[in-house]
Amino acid sequence: MTTPKTIMRWVSIALMALFLNACASIPPGSTADPRDPFERYNRAMFSFNQTVDDKVLKPVATGYTDVIPDLIRTAIGNFFGNIGDVWTAVNNFLQGKPREGTSDVARVVLNSTFGIVGLIDVATPAGLVQHEEDFGQTLGVWGVKSGPFLVLPILGASTVRDGLARPVDLYADPITQIDSAGVENSLRALRLVDYRATLLYSTRMMEEAALDPYLFVRDAYLQRRESRVRDGN
């Protein structure tokens, strides 16, 4: 199973390939978007990621939804969401948003206790809204520009800023603190499959609607990241 060190190695390789291909010509029919000067590399990596997804991740996620009941999948999603709230809280504090950070901490405490280690989301009905923050967003709030669009191996759509911030997110993941490598890797695998399962419907719609999936993913990602850095403003 993939470990944080392995993922970081992939990210490093991707960044090296990015700069080696930075001067390569943009393929015919491209949009020549100034946000995407590395389109040749990005399209190649996007195609590679799609192949991995079609051959491995998508079939496993489909089987997961077929076998695991909705109630259990909801509990699994809640569990990993609770873990994610820990790093979200840290990033909210780093971004100078103590109210949101305090709310995130309260979510973790409430869900970890009354929610049975996060399996039940009791915080949301109690009025504690779930946020999504990572270190790439924190850098954006600090004024670091996103830089060009960048597709990472396996990890998918990103930007230069978000790609460089990703190792921080990986090492800050509470799952990394688990002593047993077997348990840690099993949880990472389960989280990946569960997350991919939540995207089955949306990716199917994208495949049916988008003439160019690469452009669809690129534009959607850049718009969403800008919105998240600005908290929707």
What's the whole-number mean pLDDT along residues 69-93?
A: 97
Do residues 185 and 175 lie in contact, with contact meaning Cβ atoms separated by under 8 Å?
no
Whether the pTM exceeds 0.85: the reply is no
pLDDT digits (tens, 9 = 90+) for 121-153: 999 999 999 999 999 999 999 999 999 999 999
Do residues 194 and 64 lie in contact, with contact meaning Cβ atoms separated by under 8 Å?
yes
Paired strand residues for 150: 158
Mean pLDDT of the chain: 89
SS3 at position 157: strand
Q: Which residues contact 54 (CB under 8 A, 6 or more apart)?
A: none
Find where tokens 């688990």 sit.
Answer: 178
What's the whole-number mean pLDDT along residues 65-79?
A: 97
C-alpha 59/C-alpha 229 separation (Å) is 33
C-alpha 225/C-alpha 135 separation (Å) is 12
Please report, as a single letter, which amino acid is at residue 207.
Answer: E
Flag whether pLDDT at 3 surpasses 90. no
At residue 206, the pLDDT reads 79
Do residues 140 and 122 lie in contact, with contact meaning Cβ atoms separated by under 8 Å?
no
pLDDT digits (tens, 9 = 90+) for 14-34: 455 444 444 444 454 455 799
